């Protein structure tokens, strides 16, 4: 004779407690990932034009016509420069909000948060081609493997 196997159906409270425990574990894992930042803030000091090292001033003309962020090493210090590109008039500005270093696949990525502002319609501006940029000295010890520029436009 064949014997029927009987499975005991778990009580609904047991199922509910197991589901609650799984949801709690998933929530804790995501919370840890959320609060544990892979990014580290990099302190910096914005430099005036006359504080920029001569070595950087010499290479700057090659990059001023491009919109980009770059890092340079001069005098054993790391500098970050954000260039805005060629603009038809004055009144265009570039600011540096934050620098963050993150590691991704064993590479150091510098994220540059810049703020761009355009002249308002009707503003009185110089009628000359300009190349807005900002330079900053950082406390980094070595150049990053990659640089990402994240721009926010001011209204």
**Do 71 and 109 contact (CB within 8 A), yes or no?**
no
**Do 140 and 101 contact (CB within 8 A), yes or no?**
yes
Write down the pLDDT at residue 36. 60
14, 19, 20, 26: CA torsion to nearest 10: 150
pLDDT tens digits, 117-142 = 999 998 999 999 999 999 999 999 99
**Among candidate residues 70, 91, 88, the one with its CA nearest the CA of residue 79:** 70
pLDDT tens digits, 18-48 = 999 999 999 988 877 666 656 789 999 999 9
The structure's pTM equals 0.73
Q: Is 122 left (phi over 0), alpha (psi -120 to 50) or beta?
A: left
């Amino acid at each position: 004779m064949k014997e029927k196997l009987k499975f005991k159906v778990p009580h609904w409270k047991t199922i509910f407690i197991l589901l609650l425990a799984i949801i709690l574990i998933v929530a804790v894992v995501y919370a840890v990932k959320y609060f544990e930042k892979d990014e580290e803030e990099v302190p910096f000091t914005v430099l005036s034009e006359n504080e920029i090292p001569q070595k950087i001033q010499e290479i700057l003309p090659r990059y001023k016509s491009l919109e980009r962020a770059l890092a340079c090493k001069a005098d054993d210090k790391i500098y970050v420069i954000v260039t805005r590109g060629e603009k038809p008039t004055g009144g265009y500005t570039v600011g540096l909000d934050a620098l963050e270093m993150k590691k991704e696949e064993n590479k150091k990525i510098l994220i540059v948060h810049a703020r761009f502002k355009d002249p308002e319609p009707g503003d009185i501006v110089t009628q000359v081609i300009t190349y807005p940029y900002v330079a900053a000295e950082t406390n980094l010890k070595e150049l990053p493997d990659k640089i990402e520029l994240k721009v926010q436009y001011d209204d």
